[in-house]
């Protein structure tokens, strides 16, 4: 499609990441032009190489912790830049704090200057190790500010606070999505999260590394479902945080068993220490997303995980 000014322009920070690249594909399919910004600290050019030569797509290698300059009209700013895996934010704690704070400030400043709608990719980590289960948006969370995960959790909590301040003080059209565990093609095999870790281990015949006794729970959402919820939220007139995730909850032990069953792998289980402040339970209450956005996840676990395994099969 030729570039025309009637096509909305979306700026995506973190555009070469797992979620940013899937969001890009969805927006291009919706007829947007996309300018993606990524520092490539945790993003990956392999996620966007299929977009080379697309007239509606532009990539800028830039760290949004520094001032963001985009000429011309911008309609939507999608702020997805951040390390998102526990081992990444433990490895680079200060860039994690900076992108959540300074990066969010810059992304909001861009949206304000352009009169653009804004969405913050926030996280279920705002609930910390939750004392309410499942987690509803009105729960304020149980976060250790000075623990190793605090660099991510508190940066995202600050990001939510500054987003609401820009909404209230500047009257901006802002949105906040609290993203729960998401999986799918384009996750980094070495990002340390449980989905690529277990699949990579199962496909190479190594022991599956369960942290702790494996009784902690997570609820996994397939990436296309998540992107659909985020798209609907951006297009809505709702400004408070909304959980997007799949409420299908399982223990990490059950998840390991599912991976072994689906890959037909015959691997050992190896227990490793539970990381500090690892949440014991996590499950989104998605009543708000259902009511306000008419959204709920559609891709069942077996189908989503098979697609993800196929993606990793060619890469281990
Ligand atoms: N986990 C695990 N083995 C691994 C990686 C992670 O048992 O090799 C556990 C981790 O301790 C946590 C859960 O799996 O309880 C999900 O971890 P992940 O890093 O995917 O993200 P989190 O949900 O903690 O942000």
- Write out pLDDT tens, residues 268-285: 999 999 999 999 999 999
Region of 244 please: left (phi>0), alpha (psi -120 to 50) or beta.
beta
The pLDDT of residue 3 is above 80: no
Ligand 1 centroid to Cα of residue 113, in Å, is 39
Ligand 1 centroid to Cα of residue 208, in Å, is 12
Give me the mean pLDDT over the 139-164 stretch: 98
The pLDDT confidence band at residue 1, using thresholds 50, 70 and 90, is very low
Q: State the number of CA atoms in the 13 A half-sphere of 297 facing the CB.
A: 27
> Which amino acid residue places its CA nearest to atom 21 of ligand 1?
193
Give the whole-angstrom CA distance, residue 118 versus residue 107: 8
Give me the mean pLDDT over the 67-88 stretch: 97
Question: pTM above the 0.85 mark?
Answer: yes
Closest CA to 80 of 42, 114, 112, 48: 42
Distance of CA 309 to the CA centre of its chain: 19
Query: Where in the sequence numbering do the catalytic residues fall?
Result: 152
Ligand 1 pocket list (CB less than 6 A): 85-86, 181, 192-194, 197, 209-211, 216, 218, 252, 274-275, 278
Instruction: Give residue 314's pLDDT.
Output: 86
Q: What is the maximum span of the chain, computed from C-alpha positions, in angstroms?
A: 57
Give me the mean pLDDT over the 247-251 stretch: 98
Closest CA to 120 of 90, 80, 158: 80
- What rounded mean pLDDT belongs to the chain? 97
The pLDDT of residue 296 is above 50: yes
SS3 state of residue 28: helix
Ligand 1 centroid to Cα of residue 201, in Å, is 14
Instruction: Give residue 152's pLDDT.
Output: 98
Residue ranges of domains in the chain: 2-185+222-246+284-298
Instruction: Give residue 2's pLDDT.
Output: 47
pLDDT tens across 4-47, in order?
Answer: 568 999 999 999 999 999 999 999 999 999 999 999 999 999 99
The fold for domain 2-185+222-246+284-298 equals: Rossmann fold (3.40.50)
Cα dist from 168 to 117, 173, 196, 225, whole Å: 14, 9, 39, 30
pLDDT tens across 163-190, in order?
Answer: 999 999 999 999 999 999 999 999 999 9
Residues 6+ apart with CB under 8 A from 85: 42, 188, 191, 192, 193
pLDDT tens across 224-238, in order?
Answer: 999 999 999 999 999
């Amino acid at each position: 499609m030729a570039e025309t000014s009637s096509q909305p322009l979306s700026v995506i920070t973190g555009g070469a990441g797992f979620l940013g690249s899937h969001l890009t594909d969805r927006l291009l399919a919706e007829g947007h032009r996309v300018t993606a910004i990524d520092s490539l600290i945790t993003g990956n050019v392999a996620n966007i190489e299929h977009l080379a030569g697309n007239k509606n797509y532009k990539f800028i290698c830039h760290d949004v912790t520094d001032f963001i300059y985009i000429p011309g009209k911008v309609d939507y700013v999608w702020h997805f830049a951040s390390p998102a895996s526990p081992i990444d934010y433990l490895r680079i704690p200060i860039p994690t704090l900076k992108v959540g704070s300074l990066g969010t400030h810059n992304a909001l400043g861009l949206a304000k200057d352009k009169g653009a709608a804004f969405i913050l990719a926030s996280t279920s980590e705002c609930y910390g190790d939750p004392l309410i289960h499942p987690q509803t948006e009105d729960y304020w969370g149980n976060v250790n500010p000075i623990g190793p995960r605090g660099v991510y959790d508190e940066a995202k909590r600050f990001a939510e606070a500054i987003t609401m301040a820009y909404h209230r003080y500047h009257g901006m059209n802002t949105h906040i999505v609290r993203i729960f565990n998401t999986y799918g093609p384009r996750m980094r095999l070495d990002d340390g999260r449980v989905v690529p870790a277990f699949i990579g281990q199962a496909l190479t015949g190594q022991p599956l590394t369960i942290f702790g006794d494996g009784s902690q729970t997570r609820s996994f959402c397939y990436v296309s479902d998540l992107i659909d919820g985020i798209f609907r939220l951006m297009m809505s007139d709702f400004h408070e945080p909304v959980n997007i995730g799949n409420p299908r909850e399982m223990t990490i032990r059950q998840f390991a068993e599912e991976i072994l069953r689906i890959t037909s792998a015959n691997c050992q289980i190896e227990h490793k220490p539970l990381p500090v402040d690892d949440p014991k339970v996590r499950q989104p209450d998605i009543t708000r997303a259902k009511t306000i956005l008419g959204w709920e996840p559609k891709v069942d676990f077996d189908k989503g995980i098979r697609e993800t395994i196929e993606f990793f099969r060619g890469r281990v």
